[in-house]
């Protein structure tokens, strides 16, 4: 299976570990978490023992796949010398490209289908994917709040709002409607990011207060 937008960062085809991660991503998308370790080893053109030398269990392999996908995404938030809009645009483009691609939707569909049978699957995904993404985004937004670029709202609320705007309703639509996923559209991302920044702009504070961090 090809990856036109790529769930993973570029990998070295001569490195068996990289090949295993790429193969596991493809096999998990195609067959779900029930896919055999042997299928992954064959797809990667390595011996089964080589796979176990790198990853002691299927859960370890799956966790590494999610970790790699997340790392490739979070690097887009780097760049403190750039404007907040530039960083969020880059993140938004990458996030939507992964989450709303045919591969990303297939991966998510397989995850939901298998989560009841393999609860560790959902826990691993949540721990190494969404939690890490939200934490890094919160850090970026907290820095922007501290600099006066955004109004002083709860950074968790700010991060969750942005993530929901970027994929929420559209992912449900393409998962359930049967329509093919959209092609990457930077103009659509720019529209979403600009709407988000207007809503959380520092100058909007006096006329349109947002939820504040709760104090126990």
Residues 162-195 have pLDDT tens digits of: 999 999 889 999 999 989 988 889 999 999 999 9
Q: CA 7 → CA 96, 112, 143, 173, distances in Å?
A: 11, 18, 28, 20
Q: Answer with the residue of higher pLDDT: 216 or 14.
A: 14
Give the per-residue pLDDT at 2: 32
Mean pLDDT of 66-86: 84
Q: How is residue 86 written in tokens?
A: 């530039």
pLDDT attached to residue 3: 33
Helices in 45-201 by DSSP H: which ranges? 48-54, 58-74, 84-99, 102-114, 119-128, 130-146, 155-176, 186-199
Q: Say what the pLDDT of residue 47 is.
A: 93
Would you say residue 6 has pLDDT above 50? no
Show the 3-state SS of 15-65: CHHHHHHHHHHHHHHHHCCCCCHHHHHHHHCCCHHHHHHHCCCHHHHHHHH
Give the model confidence (pLDDT) of 126-154 as tens digits. Answer: 888 888 899 999 999 999 999 999 999 99
Contacts of 31 (CB under 8 A, 6+ apart): 39, 110
Band of residue 212 on the pLDDT scale cut at 50, 70, 90: low
pLDDT at 13: 52
- Bigger pLDDT: 125 or 11? 125
Which of 183, 156, 202, 18 lies closest to 96, judged by CA?
183
CA 216 – CA 211 distance, rounded (Å) = 15
Burial zone of 42 (CB within 10 Å; 0-12 exposed, 13-18 middle, 19+ buried): middle
3-state secondary structure of 79: coil
pLDDT band of 206, cuts 50, 70, 90 = very low
CB neighbours of residue 176 within 10 Å: 9
How high is the pLDDT of residue 5?
A: 36
pLDDT at 4 over 50: no
Given a cut of 60, is residue 215 above it in pLDDT? Answer: no
pTM of the predicted structure, to 2 decimals: 0.76
User: CATH number for the 65-204 domain, one of 3.30.67.10, 1.20.1440.230, 1.10.357.10, 3.40.50.1000?
Assistant: 1.10.357.10
Looking at residue 89, its pLDDT comes to: 95
Q: What local confidence, expressed as pLDDT, does residue 207 receive? A: 47
Question: Where residue 213 falls among pLDDT bands split at 50, 70, 90?
Answer: low
CA gap 170, 111 in Å, rounded: 18
């Amino acid at each position: 299976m090809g990856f036109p937008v790529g769930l993973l960062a570029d990998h070295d085809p001569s490195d068996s570990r990289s090949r295993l991660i790429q193969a596991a991503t493809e096999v998990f998308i195609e067959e779900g978490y029930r896919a055999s370790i042997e299928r992954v080893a064959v797809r990667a053109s390595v011996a089964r023992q080589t796979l176990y030398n790198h990853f002691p269990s299927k859960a370890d392999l799956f966790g590494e796949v999610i970790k790699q996908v997340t790392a490739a995404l979070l690097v887009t938030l780097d760049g403190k010398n750039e404007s907040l809009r530039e960083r969020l645009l880059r993140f938004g483009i990458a996030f939507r490209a992964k989450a709303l691609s045919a591969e990303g939707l297939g991966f998510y569909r397989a995850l939901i289908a298998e989560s009841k049978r393999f609860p560790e699957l959902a826990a691993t995904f949540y721990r190494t994917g969404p939690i890490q993404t939200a934490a890094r985004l919160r850090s970026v937004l907290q820095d922007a709040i501290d600099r006066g670029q955004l109004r002083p709202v709860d950074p968790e609320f700010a991060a969750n709002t942005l993530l929901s705007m970027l994929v929420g309703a559209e992912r449900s639509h393409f998962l359930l409607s049967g329509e093919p996923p959209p092609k990457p559209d930077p103009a659509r991302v720019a529209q979403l990011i600009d709407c988000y920044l207007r809503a959380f702009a520092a100058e909007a504070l006096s006329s349109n207060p947002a939820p504040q961090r709760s104090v126990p």
